[in-house]
Amino acid sequence: MRVLLVEDDRMIGESLREALRQHGMAADWVRDGRAADAVLASERFDAVLLDLGLPERDGLQVLASLRARGDTTPVIVVTARDALADKVAGLDTGADDYLVKPFELDELLARLRALVRRQGGRASTVLEVGDLRLDPATREVSRGGRPVLLSAREFALLQALMERPGAIVSRAQLEDRLYGWGEELESNAISVYMHQLRRKLGDDLLHTVRGLGYYAGPAKDR
């Protein structure tokens, strides 16, 4: 999952970005409203965490512009403004959810998962491909009922493939999902993680399509 964090408070921004990364998400961070506008107009995110009190341009204006462009990226407003009128304004401007600071990290992560799940039109929280099972909430993976331990990056990669079984996901799309700006990225990182996943989970459900990308599911004849 790739998340954009829009937050002008350095301490909150740094700790939140670190926490998201530790939970296997690619987290990018901008600190003012104009920068948020620019990056949202040019890049795709799975979710946005949006502060309201921002330099340059208020969070509500950023949100209004995003929705005016027809962009449906899920947005959680994260702010210290706790007045009812502020919440109503945030939701009416197009926010999907609203979280008042200070908040518990676990609640934020659960809301993020719920939002992305709804966006994907899925009712079930658990992803299944054959007898391979991945639970985004508990971060547990099993194959044929046997638990398998994955690193945060392996988990994120597997989740990206299992969200759309059979669909080919390119290496660039996977790199976007796994890495934020400025994170060190070896050119063969994705194929190394794929290799590790196949070693741990077997090679019958994870496939490479040369020159195109990867998919999860039963092998297709080509």
Among 8, 58, 140, 175, binds Ca ion (CB under 5 A): 8
Provide the greatest CA pair distance for the chain. 58
Region of 25-33, 46-54, 95-103, 172-180 interacting with Ca ion (CB under 5 A): 46-54
Closest distance to Ca ion from the beta carbon of 86 (Å) = 13
Choice between 53 and 130, CB closer to Ca ion: 53
Residues in contact with Ca ion, total (CB under 5 A)? 3
Among residues 8 and 175, whose Cβ is nearest to Ca ion?
Answer: 8
Q: Which stretch binds Ca ion (CB under 5 A): 3-11, 64-72, 85-93, 113-121?
A: 3-11
Q: Determine the angle formed by the axes of helices 171-178 and 189-201, rounding to 10 degrees.
A: 90
Name the token pair of 56: 């340059």
CB distance 194 to 62 below 8 Å: no
Report the residue number, 46 or 51, with the smaller CB distance to Ca ion: 51
To Ca ion, the closest distance from the beta carbon of 65 in angstroms equals 18
| Least distance (Å) between residue 48 CB and Ca ion | 15
> Which single residue brings its beta carbon nearest to Ca ion?
53
Residues in 50-109 that interact with Ca ion by CB under 5 A: 51, 53
Plot region of 207 (φ>0 → left; ψ -120 to 50 → alpha; else → beta): beta
Using CB under 5 A, which of the segments 8-16, 34-42, 83-91, 209-217 binds Ca ion?
Answer: 8-16
Q: Three-state SS for 140? A: strand
- Residue (12 or 152) nearer to Ca ion, CB: 12
Token duo for residue 204:
């019958």
**Nearest-angstrom CA–CA distance, 52 and 78:** 7
The whole-angstrom separation of Cα 90 and Cα 34 is: 18
Per the CB < 8 A criterion, the answer to whether 59 and 51 are in contact is yes
Contact residues toward Ca ion (CB under 5 A) are 8, 51, 53
